[in-house]
Amino acid sequence: MRQHFCSILSVTELSTMSILWYITGLLLLRSCTPGFSMHDGIVGGKVSIPHSRPYMVYIRDSQSKAVCDGFLVREDFVMTAAHCKYSHLKVYLGVNDTNFLPDGVAVDPIPHPHFINNKPGHDIMLLKLKTPATLNKTVKTVPLPEKESHKHCMVMGWGLLGYHDASHPSKVLREANVTLLDSKNCGTKDTLCSAGKIGPAMGDSGGPLVCGDVAQGIVSYYRLESNGDHCSRYTDISKYLPWIHDKMKPPTPQQHETWKDNLAKVV
């Protein structure tokens, strides 16, 4: 069943939406270090061609309504930021317009064990889908990197549209081109970064940094520099490949036993 949100709203409803998005923003900001925060939205860029990024995943907590982005890396795994971990997460596949969401899929979150709230680093999480995705034209996976590469990349998401306007999230997927800076100026060793007035935003946390058709990074946080620029940070996926492959290993034969197998052993 699809959920539909009416686009014709009263003043009271608009006010209520503004408050809800403001609260959502505060929830996302709690995971950033002092002096660090996500932007208020995808700033610049353009609207994506519908379903042209079929690996994109909309993530929402069914109770707090906090939202993040993610991306499908296998039929049964979504990757996102560890600071997007909430208690009642659901993922929505094949989404373009968030006014029309398909049924959500429940997940088991697997955040990196070294991630600590309010500290940079290790901001990566896998979400194991309790019902694997059916791949089709609007739902596809994106490859993971074999090593760090490329400098010209793209970010995308459903975040808010302006740096200071907390009442206007994008209902449709947007994307923007960014150029990566020298990694030695990015802070922690597991971080990639870009700077300027175009890039990821609040509500875009956990989305992919795609470089050369490969998911190279995960939107994490930004820092306001002394010159007024916003320096966006992304978790460098290539630094976590051993951990990712370990967590995504298929179950062993012992783990895959059916109740019939166990009954045969008892008999």
Distance CA 176, CA 156 (A): 6
Annotated catalytic, 97? no
DSSP bridge pairs for 180: 194
Distance CA 144, CA 161 (A): 28
Which residue is catalytic, options 40, 69, 76, 123?
A: 123
CB atoms under 10 Å from CB of 214, counted, come to 18
Residue burial 29-42, b: 16+ Cβ < 10 Å; e: rest: eebbeeebbbbbbb
Which residue is catalytic, options 48, 205, 220, 232?
A: 205
- Tell me which residue has tokens 């994307």: 175
Distance CA 55, CA 226 (A): 36
Annotated catalytic, 10? no
Which residue is catalytic, options 39, 83, 112, 122?
A: 83
Annotated catalytic, 83? yes
- Return the active site residues: 83, 123, 205
